[in-house]
């Protein structure tokens, strides 16, 4: 599928139209930012790893009954997706305290949570993506209560599926961020599921295998992405290329 007009360029991805209005082409970049773009860098081959890892995890979710925008991989750093109108929301699911939750509530990183925590953030760079609750979302018309219910259920189901699958690859799913959109009235998961948007900790050593290595200057950033790719996608190089 040919790349058409550039529709949107974000910090880590470009989205292009295609000849078919039902589909977009997403291109993953090596660029990395953190802290609302205040920290910038490049992670070698990140575009490739995030494309392949997202494709793998989206396929897993689709097979397990969690619908999402992924159609197929069309290049090393590119995937074809269903064209969605995105909600201006980030949905975060947490299994273990880390990051902003630990900071805000004073809970030591690594403390298991008694149940998964679901949080919503309003996507607005100028405001620094503030946290919102269900009544804000309804009052500001960011989504209807029915739509939010669908997103919350999908996020919790995805959490169960991903957690179990990753555990089989010796990875603890600490937390992750999802985004959703609408196509023809159907609510689908969109965006990406990658070490940029998840916290992955090695089961045995607790080593961080995600973007926290970049955020916190821990070194071995590209190596961590490569390790997640190796554990998940393994030797099936160019996953989805011929599907
Ligand atoms: P947090 O602890 O900084 O709130 O992050 C929770 C999870 O959400 C973590 O896996 C990283 C992911 N995340 C994003 O993907 N994009 C963002 O802009 C933020 C703040 C977090
Ligand atoms: N990607 C976001 C930013 O650039 C936040 C993050 O992942 O830390 O601010």
Residue 12 alpha carbon, nearest atom of ligand 2: 1
Which segments of the chain belong to CATH 3.30.470.20?
A: 85-219
> Who contacts 186 (Cβ-Cβ below 8 Å, separation ≥6)?
67
Whole-model pTM: value is 0.95
Output the residue whose Cα is nearest ligand 2's atom 7.
Answer: 34
Nearest residue (CA) to ligand 2, atom 6: 34
Q: Is the CB of residue 186 below 6 angstroms from any atom belonging to ligand 2?
A: no
CATH of 85-219, one of 3.30.470.20, 1.10.3720.10, 3.20.20.30, 3.30.499.10: 3.30.470.20
Q: φ and ψ at 142, to 5 degrees?
A: -80, -25
Which residues of the chain are modeled with pLDDT < 70? 235-243
Choices 3.40.50.720, 3.30.200.20, 3.40.710.10, 3.10.20.30: CATH for 6-82: 3.30.200.20
pLDDT tens-digit readout, 8-60: 999 999 999 999 999 999 999 999 999 989 999 999 999 999 999 999 999 99
DSSP 126: G
Closest CA to 93 of 160, 180, 6: 160
Q: Which SS3 state, helix, strand or coil, does residue 115 take?
A: strand
């Amino acid at each position: 599928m040919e790349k058409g007009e550039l529709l949107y360029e974000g910090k880590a991805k470009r989205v292009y139209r295609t000849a078919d209005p039902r589909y977009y082409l997403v291109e993953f970049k090596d660029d990395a930012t953190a802290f609302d773009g205040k920290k910038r860098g490049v992670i070698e081959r990140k575009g490739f790893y995030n494309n392949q890892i997202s494709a793998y995890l989206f396929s897993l979710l689709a097979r397990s009954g969690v619908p999402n925008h992924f159609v197929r991989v069309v290049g090393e750093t590119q995937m074809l997706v269903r064209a969605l109108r995105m909600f201006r929301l980030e949905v975060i699911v947490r299994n273990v305290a880390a990051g902003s939750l630990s900071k805000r509530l004073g809970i030591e990183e690594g403390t298991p949570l008694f149940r998964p925590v679901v949080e919503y953030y309003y996507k607005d760079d100028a405001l620094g993506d503030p946290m919102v609750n269900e009544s804000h979302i309804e009052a500001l018309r960011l989504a209807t209560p029915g739509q939010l219910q669908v997103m919350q259920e999908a996020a919790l189901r995805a959490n169960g599926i991903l957690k179990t699958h990753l555990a089989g690859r010796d990875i603890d799913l600490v937390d992750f961020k999802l985004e959703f959109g609408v196509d023809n009235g159907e609510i689908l998961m969109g965006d990406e599921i990658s070490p940029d948007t998840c916290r992955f900790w090695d089961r045995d050593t607790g080593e961080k295998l995600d973007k926290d290595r970049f955020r916190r200057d821990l070194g071995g950033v590209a190596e961590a992405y490569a390790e997640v790719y190796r554990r998940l996608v393994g030797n099936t190089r160019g996953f989805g290329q011929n599907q």
